[in-house]
Structure 1
Amino acid sequence: MKNFLRTFGALGVMGLISAQAALPDPTFDDDGYLTFYLDNDLFGGEDRDYTNGARLAWISGSERVEDLIGVQRYLRRLTGDADSFEVFQKVTGFEHPEQIVYNYGFSLTQLMYTPQDNASYAQPPFQRRYAGWTGVGFSLHVKDERILNSVELSVGTTGPDSFAEATQDFIHDLRGVEKFNGWDQQIPSELTVDLSFIQKRRLDFAQMGYGILRVDGIGEWGVRLGTFRTDAHLGGMFRVGYNLPPDFSDPRLSPTAYTHRYFNSGFDYDSDWSVFLLAGGSLTGVAHDATLDGPMFSDFNTGIQRRPFVAEVYAGFGVRYRRLELSYAHTWRTEEYRTQRGIAQVGTVGVKLRF
């Protein structure tokens, strides 16, 4: 399976990813991760606004910097390592560059948005505009024992070319539920290019252990610049549980949602089983959102007004058995546009496989 995923990864980045070499350094971890995320608002008992999201993300095992070519080598300039722009080294850099390790990844993501009224063939006034986005991402991740910096370049499309309508119709047919009739009113197709940066840091005050019961915490901040979305956020997450796995994934679908070995710590798996709870939150400032403002280079009015700040909290759990893990996180999000009817709720199912 590992060889198959490496071959698929090489095709996905158009031959830009080289085969992984043997890594003699014992602090390097050869395991990669395949993670699938599914967002849906039906977990909150509704079917409106941000209604569904799906993401398949693959990340390599640890790589030497000499093995990075093509896209990864260009993304290094934004990671804070020794080859980065000087400003990135000062703001996001590492105290001990000789201790860092690299992972590369790629992703396929689809997002869809709908109004609350599914029967009307016209766009319901003051409700969320029909919108879809599908994109592929190419990422580089650099980490030491305390810091993880992730950069992802996403190329995608909005509108009918995203196939969000076809996906929703297919799922509704399988479930035997009514379709949404107004997809002809969705935002138009437009090519999008986005660059995302997220830094995660270990929260040392939250690192505690009582035998098999452990607690950890991760703080994060990030910026996304692009034609699909431009924003900045600040947040964090805590976990507590039995045999906490020495890896972590973003518990929800995000522009850089992958699974990572727990920094470069040398921790190992103590048991076949892990059971844990998680909770977190974030505050995001949004400067542009194509699903709310309309595509950047199209003269298209969505009929709604975006709010500049969005806050959210989430809570959930995870269960791991050997190399397979299942998690669920429930998110409560404040209003994203001025005529939205109350907070939104979205549930995220995550399935990850270590190989």
Structure 2
Amino acid sequence: MKLRLLFSFLMALPGDALAKEGTQALPSDDEPGFLTFYLDNDLFGGKDQDYTNGARLSWISGNRNIAELGRIQQLLRKISGDPESFKAFQYLTGFEDPDEIRYNYGFSLTQQMFTPEDPYSYTQPLGERRYAGWLGLGFSLHVKDERILNSVEMTLGTTGENSFAEETQDFVHSAQGIAKFNGWDDQIPGEFTADLSFIQKRRIDFGDFGFKGIRFDGLNEWGARLGSFRTEAQVGGFFRAGFNLPPDFSDPRVSTTAYSHRYFRSSGDVGGDWSIYALFGSTVRIVAYDATIDGPMFRDYDTGIDRVPLVAEVFFGGGIRYRALEFSYVHTWRTEEYKTQRGIANFGSVAVRLRF
């Protein structure tokens, strides 16, 4: 309860003054939210290079009404697809029945780090991934009905030394007895970043297999990110098969707007204390700008590598849930992100979700 009060306090200003007269304000369901910890690491793939680590802590509220949204979330409504959105967004991403809409708000803290293949050189190895770290704080709004989820997140962050990527990697490597990377003095310079992301997920339900509790479902998604850390568009999705599938839109990896969500009509029991499932999926991204490859947006800085604009990936894994606690693992294979990269990248992703 104290943690939920703390996150509520972080919402900049109450949104009551911003809610327009006549705007729909459905009652809060007073359902629990989710706290989720994500960890991506390439040591699960046997290598320590390129995208070497990503960690994200995200919290999302239960269903809330409009009056409970903060000022930042009220501003994000303009591109959420709800009735207060710009007309273009209502047309592209809107909902058929406004009476079915529910709202969630969330916060996230994300760190990502990138390193070359050679850990021993005190200078940046030629043609290899530039040392880079990024740390971002996100404020998000999630608008959903039973089949569609629109997530909008504004993320403020920094590259360079203030991302604490070097300190984080040194701590982990010391704890595991692994050699430290020596070239962090050549990481990309520090620069403030601001990004705005939108992702739409659509639920796909294939029903059961004729056995009690065994089901097959999934989702497809599309979206875009615009900002000074990364600008890209993506399309993809994933499918799950298992016993007592958790009724959710949850992301299995560190990604844009990665949170855990429940379908709003599924706040009760999901059919038992236990769930077990397998999942697989894919994503294709068109990347127009990546600060870790192209260098800082507002500085004249050459990273020594050239970006590949089209990146594809596939992933496979599974998860298990006991009551309010869920654990999942997936493994990802990703095509080259820069022209001199030596083969595809592969890394594992752990997610731990607690509903409270």
Please confirm whether the aligned pair reaches a TM-score higher than 0.5, indicating the same fold: yes
- TM bin, normalised by shorter chain, reads over 0.9
Query: 1:185: which partner in 2?
Result: 186
Query: 2:22: which partner in 1?
Result: none
Normalising by structure 2, report the TM-score: 0.94
Query: 1:167: which partner in 2?
Result: 168
Query: 1:129: which partner in 2?
Result: 130
- Once the two structures are TM-superposed, the CA of residue 16 in structure 1 deviates from its matched residue by 5.5
Structure 1 CA distance, aligned partners of 2:181 and 2:14?
40
Q: Contact 1:10 / 1:17 at 8 angstroms: preserved in 2?
A: no
User: CA offsets per residue over residues 52-108 of structure 1, 9 Å max, x none?
Assistant: 000000000100112223111111111000000000000000000111000000000
Q: Contact 1:110 / 1:162 at 8 angstroms: preserved in 2?
A: yes
User: CA offsets per residue over residues 120-165 of structure 1, 9 Å max, x none?
Assistant: 0010000000000001000000000111000000000001111100
User: CA offsets per residue over residues 237-273 of structure 1, 9 Å max, x none?
Assistant: 1000011111241011112000000354567411000
Percent identity over the alignment is: 61
Query: 1:113: which partner in 2?
Result: 114
Query: 2:4: which partner in 1?
Result: 6
Give the direction of change, closer, same or farther, for the CA distance of 1:285–1:226 in structure 2 (3 Å limit): same
Query: 1:323: which partner in 2?
Result: 324
Structure 1 CA distance, aligned partners of 2:14 and 2:307?
38
Task: Give yes or no for the alignment of 1:292 onto 2:290.
Answer: no
Q: Contact 1:229 / 1:290 at 8 angstroms: preserved in 2?
A: yes
- Once the two structures are TM-superposed, the CA of residue 187 in structure 1 deviates from its matched residue by 0.1
Structure 1 CA distance, aligned partners of 2:248 and 2:95?
20
User: CA offsets per residue over residues 140-194 of structure 1, 9 Å max, x none?
Assistant: 0000011100000000000111110011111111111110000000000000000
SS at match of 2:279: strand
Query: 1:222: which partner in 2?
Result: 223
Query: 2:313: which partner in 1?
Result: 312
Q: Contact 1:10 / 1:16 at 8 angstroms: preserved in 2?
A: no
SS at match of 1:313: strand
Q: Contact 2:281 / 2:315 at 8 angstroms: preserved in 1?
A: yes
- Once the two structures are TM-superposed, the CA of residue 6 in structure 1 deviates from its matched residue by 1.6
Structure 1 CA distance, aligned partners of 2:338 and 2:51?
12
Structure 1 CA distance, aligned partners of 2:15 and 2:344?
42
Structure 2 CA distance, aligned partners of 1:337 and 1:183?
20
Query: 1:176: which partner in 2?
Result: 177
- Once the two structures are TM-superposed, the CA of residue 354 in structure 1 deviates from its matched residue by 0.4
Give the direction of change, closer, same or farther, for the CA distance of 1:24–1:160 in structure 2 (3 Å limit): closer
Structure 2 CA distance, aligned partners of 1:215 and 1:52?
31
* CA RMSD, Structure 1 to Structure 2 (Å): 1.7
Give the direction of change, closer, same or farther, for the CA distance of 1:29–1:259 in structure 2 (3 Å limit): farther
User: CA offsets per residue over residues 222-243 of structure 1, 9 Å max, x none?
Assistant: 1000000000000011000011
Q: Contact 2:27 / 2:65 at 8 angstroms: preserved in 1?
A: no
Query: 2:245: which partner in 1?
Result: 244
Structure 1 CA distance, aligned partners of 2:118 and 2:290?
22
Structure 2 unmatched runs, 5+: 17-24
Structure 2 CA distance, aligned partners of 1:16 and 1:160?
34
Which amino acid in structure 2 is aligned with residue 10 of structure 1?
S
SS at match of 1:91: helix
Structure 1 CA distance, aligned partners of 2:237 and 2:207?
14
Which amino acid in structure 1 is aligned with residue 299 of structure 2?
S
Structure 2 CA distance, aligned partners of 1:76 and 1:24?
15
Query: 1:274: which partner in 2?
Result: 275
Task: Give yes or no for the alignment of 1:257 onto 2:258.
Answer: yes
Structure 1 CA distance, aligned partners of 2:118 and 2:234?
31
Structure 2 CA distance, aligned partners of 1:29 and 1:100?
15
Give the direction of change, closer, same or farther, for the CA distance of 1:183–1:29 in structure 2 (3 Å limit): same
Structure 2 CA distance, aligned partners of 1:90 and 1:178?
53
Structure 2 CA distance, aligned partners of 1:307 and 1:278?
28
Give the direction of change, closer, same or farther, for the CA distance of 1:146–1:248 in structure 2 (3 Å limit): closer
Structure 2 CA distance, aligned partners of 1:251 and 1:45?
20
Structure 1 CA distance, aligned partners of 2:9 and 2:158?
20
Query: 1:68: which partner in 2?
Result: 69
User: CA offsets per residue over residues 272-325 of structure 1, 9 Å max, x none?
Assistant: 000000000010000000000001001110000000000000000000000000
Give the direction of change, closer, same or farther, for the CA distance of 1:87–1:267 in structure 2 (3 Å limit): farther
Task: Give yes or no for the alignment of 1:301 onto 2:299.
Answer: no
Query: 1:45: which partner in 2?
Result: 46
User: CA offsets per residue over residues 19-40 of structure 1, 9 Å max, x none?
Assistant: xxxx9969x4611000000000
Structure 1 unmatched runs, 5+: none
Which amino acid in structure 1 is aligned with residue 164 of structure 2?
F
Q: Contact 2:320 / 2:328 at 8 angstroms: preserved in 1?
A: yes
Normalising by structure 1, report the TM-score: 0.94
Which amino acid in structure 2 is aligned with residue 232 of structure 1?
A
Which amino acid in structure 2 is aligned with residue 9 of structure 1?
F
